[in-house]
């Protein structure tokens, strides 16, 4: 087989066979096909697309490029969740413990942040001592004993995705629906849980810009999961503005803890109640979505979800005292307000730009090797739809170094303040 023939076939919009896809992935992971040829194929796929069958074949080839976790030794129903990425998205930190408190087993492998979006591992590591890298036996034991572990993905899980994603990142081919679907689902299937919940973001701060595009991606991912015997549900949710008020690792952990204690922002709370209810219905623990929401609300109200979070932090060597007393987290050197220059309504709050601005002051990584400053970030004071008077604080910037020239102006420009209130703000567009 010649790889150039596969590239040319896709260039003309042809459908790749199982043999061709399997050969591509095996040879690429073994280092026998150069990046420049795979880049050409990725671009051809981005422009010409892939059929459902091709996407399934690609997902299976990627899934079997490495280790597949066997969670069958864990009694009970294993669940996993995935968000396609967003600014201020700390859902896993809240939803995971709530689900564990409801009796399902949360065996979660997470990633690090890159660019404008954050990563769950970086957030957890802002808790003093927290260990994201557990041996497999310890990971399994923790899930069995306390119902939840959140760890870093092992390097043996879907090595094909690691190589392909790095290449997609620098070749403008992240955006392709079949490539995103196969990337996400190969990892979810390799992680081994029986139930998978997908949070597919859309809007300014997401890969998918409209709810319609997000639905196409969600539909594809649901098909891929169901074809492998998994129960998969999805929510299409808004990422035009950040989720919650906090952007930045330690700030997001604090917000997650407040949410677990029933004092979280409305949008984050709503998202975890709905996402959790959907999982509990799939797990046959809740009769319907209303029952699921009730059960999820109960574990916040009675404190059991917060206790699960503390148990996980303790099991993973984190400092529980910090979680019990949020004042024990260190503060950034400066906390600077960004104030409104006019009176009106916040009509937009550009998630992507706010994520980039937070990254630039140290809350995220522009390159994989960059070091994060955990206490740095942005805490919003106002969200889309809020009324502001001239001089009101829109957000607080937590930073360790002086802000660069023009940074504060860009931060202010990320807010769109108009005379009329924006209508039709929606958090959850669809549950599938």
Specify whether the CB–CB gap between 129 and 157 falls below 8 A.
no
Q: How far apart are CA 355 and CA 192, in angstroms?
A: 31
Is 72 annotated as catalytic?
Answer: no
Is 213 annotated as catalytic?
Answer: no
Nearer to ligand URA by Cβ, of 142 and 153: the residue is: 153
Residue 236's contacts (CB-CB under 8 Å, 6 or more residues apart) are 200, 202, 211, 214, 215, 218, 428, 429, 430, 431, 432
Taking the complex as a whole, how short is the minimal distance between the CB of residue 169 and ligand URA, in angstroms?
9
Specify whether the CB–CB gap between 429 and 211 falls below 8 A.
yes
Scanning residues 267 to 306, which ones bind ligand URA (CB under 6 A)? none
Taking the complex as a whole, how short is the minimal distance between the CB of residue 161 and ligand URA, in angstroms?
7
* H or E segment and range at residue 24: helix 18-29
Is 294 annotated as catalytic?
Answer: no
Taking the complex as a whole, how short is the minimal distance between the CB of residue 176 and ligand URA, in angstroms?
8
For residue 106, the cross-strand partners are 79, 148
What does residue 183 show for φ and ψ, rounded to 5 degrees? -65, -50
Taking the complex as a whole, how short is the minimal distance between the CB of residue 58 and ligand URA, in angstroms?
12
Task: Compute the 3-state secondary structure of the chain and give helix, strand, coil in percent, each to the nearest 5.
Answer: 45, 15, 40
Q: Is 377 left (phi over 0), alpha (psi -120 to 50) or beta?
A: left
Nearer to ligand URA by Cβ, of 179 and 283: the residue is: 179
CA distances 203 to 206, 238, 280, Å, are 5, 6, 27
Residue 120 sits in the site that holds ligand URA (CB under 6 A): no
Scanning residues 82 to 101, which ones bind ligand URA (CB under 6 A)? 84-85
Nearer to ligand URA by Cβ, of 164 and 250: the residue is: 164
Radius of gyration of the chain (CA): 22
The site that binds ligand URA (CB under 6 A) totals a number of residues, namely 8
Nearer to ligand URA by Cβ, of 84 and 340: the residue is: 84
For residue 246, the cross-strand partners are 379
Nearer to ligand URA by Cβ, of 90 and 308: the residue is: 90
- Order of strands, sheet of 377-380, starting from the edge strand that comes earlier in the sequence: 246-247, 377-380, 393-399, 334-339
User: Between helices 35-48 and 177-191, what is the axis angle to 10°?
Assistant: 110
Specify whether the CB–CB gap between 198 and 162 falls below 8 A.
no
Is 168 annotated as catalytic?
Answer: yes
Taking the complex as a whole, how short is the minimal distance between the CB of residue 277 and ligand URA, in angstroms?
24
Please name which of 258, 255, 249, 267 lies closest in space to residue 203, comparing C-alpha atoms: 267
Tokens representing 420 are 């009329």
Number of Cβ within 10 Å of residue 420's Cβ equals: 8
Taking the complex as a whole, how short is the minimal distance between the CB of residue 299 and ligand URA, in angstroms?
28
Give the active site residue among 80, 122, 161, 204.
161
Taking the complex as a whole, how short is the minimal distance between the CB of residue 184 and ligand URA, in angstroms?
5
Interface characters, 168-207, with ligand URA (x: CB under 6 A): ------x----xx--xx-----------------------
Give the active site residue among 108, 112, 123, 168.
168
Is 356 annotated as catalytic?
Answer: no
Taking the complex as a whole, how short is the minimal distance between the CB of residue 186 and ligand URA, in angstroms?
9
HSE of 103 in the Cβ direction (CA atoms, 13 Å)? Answer: 11
Which residue lies nearest ligand URA, judged by its C-beta? 183
Residue 432, judged by CB atoms within 10 A of its CB (0-12, 13-18, 19+), counts as middle
Q: Is 152 left (phi over 0), alpha (psi -120 to 50) or beta?
A: beta
Nearer to ligand URA by Cβ, of 154 and 183: the residue is: 183
> Which residues are catalytic, by number?
82, 161, 168, 183, 187
Give the interface with ligand URA as residue ranges (CB under 6 A): 84-85, 165, 174, 179-180, 183-184
């Amino acid at each position: 087989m010649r790889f150039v023939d596969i590239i040319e076939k896709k260039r003309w919009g042809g459908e790749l066979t199982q043999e061709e896809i399997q050969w591509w992935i095996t040879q690429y992971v073994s280092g026998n096909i150069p990046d420049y040829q795979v880049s050409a194929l990725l671009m051809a796929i981005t422009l010409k697309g892939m059929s459902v069958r091709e996407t399934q074949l690609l997902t299976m080839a990627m899934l079997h490029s490495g280790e597949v976790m066997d969670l069958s030794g864990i009694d009970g129903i294993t669940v996993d969740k995935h968000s396609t990425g967003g600014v201020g998205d700390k859902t896993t930190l809240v939803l995971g413990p709530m689900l564990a408190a409801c009796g399902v087993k949360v065996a979660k492998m997470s990633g690090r942040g890159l660019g404008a979006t954050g990563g769950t591992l970086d957030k957890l590591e802002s808790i003093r001592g927290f260990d994201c890298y557990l041996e497999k036996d310890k990971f399994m034991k923790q899930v069995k004993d306390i119902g939840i572990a959140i760890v870093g993905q092992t390097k043996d899980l879907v090595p094909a995705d690691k190589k392909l994603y790095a290449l997609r990142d620098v070749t403008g081919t992240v955006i392709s629906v079949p490539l995103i679907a196969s990337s996400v689902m190969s990892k979810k299937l390799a992680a081994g849980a029986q139930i998978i919940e997908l949070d597919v973001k859309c809007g300014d701060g997401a890969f998918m810009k409209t709810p319609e595009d997000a639905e196409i991606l969600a539909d594809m991912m649901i098909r891929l999961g169901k074809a492998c015997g998994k129960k998969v549900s999805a929510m299409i949710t808004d990422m035009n503005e950040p989720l919650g008020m906090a952007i930045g690792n330690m700030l997001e952990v604090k917000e997650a803890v407040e949410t677990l204690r029933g004092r979280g922002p409305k949008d984050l709370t709503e998202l975890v109640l709905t996402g959790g209810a959907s999982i509990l219905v799939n797990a046959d623990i809740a009769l319907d979505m209303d029952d699921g929401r009730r059960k999820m609300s109960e574990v916040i109200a009675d404190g059991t979800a917060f206790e699960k979070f503390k148990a996980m932090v303790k099991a993973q060597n984190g400092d529980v005292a910090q979680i019990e007393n949020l004042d024990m987290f260190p503060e950034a050197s400066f906390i600077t307000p960004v104030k409104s220059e006019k009176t009106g309504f916040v009509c937009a709050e550009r998630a992507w730009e706010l994520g980039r601005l937070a990254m630039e002051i140290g809350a995220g990584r522009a390159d994989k090797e960059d070091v994060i400053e955990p206490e740095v970030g942005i805490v919003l004071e106002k969200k889309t739809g809020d009324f502001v008077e001239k001089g009101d604080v829109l957000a607080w910037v937590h930073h360790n170094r002086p802000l660069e020239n023009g940074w504060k102006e860009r931060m202010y420009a990320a807010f769109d303040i108009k005379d009329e209130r924006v209508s039709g703000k929606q958090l959850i567009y669809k549950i599938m």
